[in-house]
């Protein structure tokens, strides 16, 4: 087949592109805008020339910075995207975290003095939303969210923030929310989507205490493990989860194009 015969069509008013060869679809491209505003590209095509044409058209149609994610073990896919001008901006490890306190060693973990841990379903939306805002500002001003074990969520109004307060375990001191963890039920495995503590209260065991409550609660509900992604550069997060028995399942590479 002659690559010059391949025609790239963008679906009207959408973020999808089709590569056509004699009216036959030989490749598809999609762009997904995540709640944090970043746009991620995905391409499905087994022909290199079709991939090249699709990515070139998508980049032309989407000005600004865009991203993509590939499996850490898929060197061919990574080379394809890099050949299109993408560069690696993040590498993450995917873990399976056990919930059994006899495995994690968290069964006897107590909160730091003066800290109370609110179990799942007890967090109040207003102070939780304020904590989410403060933590977001602190992280954005330092390492950035790309280095955190976190998934950004959007509320029905499209803004980032707390979606379901019942999915959180929260740490409280002197009536103020100082830390939060969030779990989400996703296909095949529950996912730990957030572990965050305010800057002034870190390195005191608050995160371990919240994890003890969260994982213990899930274990009592019959859930044996949860998944989690951690930035490869976040040594503290890796040490925390590997220290409670987390097993690495794989990884992913995030690339960007400016």
Same domain, 25 and 123: no
Residue 112 and residue 172 in one domain? yes
Predicted pLDDT at 34: 79
* Structural domain that includes position 41: 3-92
- Please check whether residues 206 and 225 belong to one and the same domain: yes
Structure tokens belonging to residue 81? 């995207």
For residue 258, being part of any structural domain is answered with no
What is the C-alpha to C-alpha distance for residues 27 and 51, in angstroms, rounded to an integer? 7
DSSP string, 184-213: EEETTEEEEEEEEE-GGGTTSSHHHHHHHH
CA distances from 242 to 15, 74, 95, 96 (A): 39, 24, 9, 10
> Domain with 178 in it: what CATH number?
3.40.630.30
Task: Tell me: do 59 and 115 sit in the same domain.
Answer: no
On whether both 122 and 221 belong to a single domain, the answer is yes
Helix, strand, or coil (residue 59) = helix
- Total-model pTM: 0.75
Q: For every one of its 258 residues, what pLDDT tens digit does the chain have, with 9 covering 90 and above?
A: 445 568 998 986 678 999 998 888 999 999 998 767 789 999 999 888 999 999 999 999 998 999 999 999 999 999 999 999 999 998 999 999 999 999 999 999 999 999 999 999 999 999 999 998 898 888 777 655 554 444 444 444 445 456 688 999 999 999 999 999 999 877 677 989 888 899 999 999 999 999 999 999 999 999 999 999 888 888 888 999 999 999 999 999 999 999
How far the first Cα of the chain sits from its last, in Å, is: 32
Domain count, the chain: 2
Give, to the nearest 10 degrees, the angle between helix 235-242 and helix 206-220.
40
Would 257 be classed as within a structural domain? Answer: no
Residues 55 and 73 in one domain: yes
């Amino acid at each position: 087949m002659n690559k010059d015969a391949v025609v790239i069509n963008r679906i009207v008013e959408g973020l999808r592109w089709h590569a056509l060869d004699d009216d036959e679809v030989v490749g598809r491209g999609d762009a997904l805008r995540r709640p944090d505003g970043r746009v991620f590209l995905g391409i499905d095509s087994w022909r290199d020339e079709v991939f090249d044409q699709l990515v070139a058209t998508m980049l032309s149609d989407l000005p600004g910075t865009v991203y993509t994610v590939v499996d850490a073990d898929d060197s061919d896919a990574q080379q394809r995207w890099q050949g299109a001008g993408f560069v690696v901006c993040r590498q993450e490890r995917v873990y399976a975290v056990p919930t059994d306190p006899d495995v994690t060693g968290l069964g006897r973990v107590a909160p730091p003095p003066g800290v109370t841990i609110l179990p799942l379903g007890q967090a109040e939306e207003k102070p939780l939303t304020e904590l989410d805002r403060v933590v977001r500002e602190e992280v954005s001003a330092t390492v950035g969210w790309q280095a955190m074990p976190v998934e950004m969520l959007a509320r029905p109004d499209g803004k980032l923030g707390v979606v379901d307060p019942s999915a959180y375990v929260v740490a409280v001191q002197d009536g103020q929310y100082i830390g939060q963890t969030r779990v989400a039920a996703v296909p095949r495995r529950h996912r730990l989507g957030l572990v965050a503590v305010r800057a002034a209260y870190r390195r005191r065991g608050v995160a371990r205490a919240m994890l003890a409550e969260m994982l213990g609660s899930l274990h009592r509900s019959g859930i044996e493990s949860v998944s989690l992604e951690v930035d490869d550069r976040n040594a503290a997060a890796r040490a925390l989860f590997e220290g409670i028995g987390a097993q690495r399942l794989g990884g992913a590479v995030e690339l960007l194009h400016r």
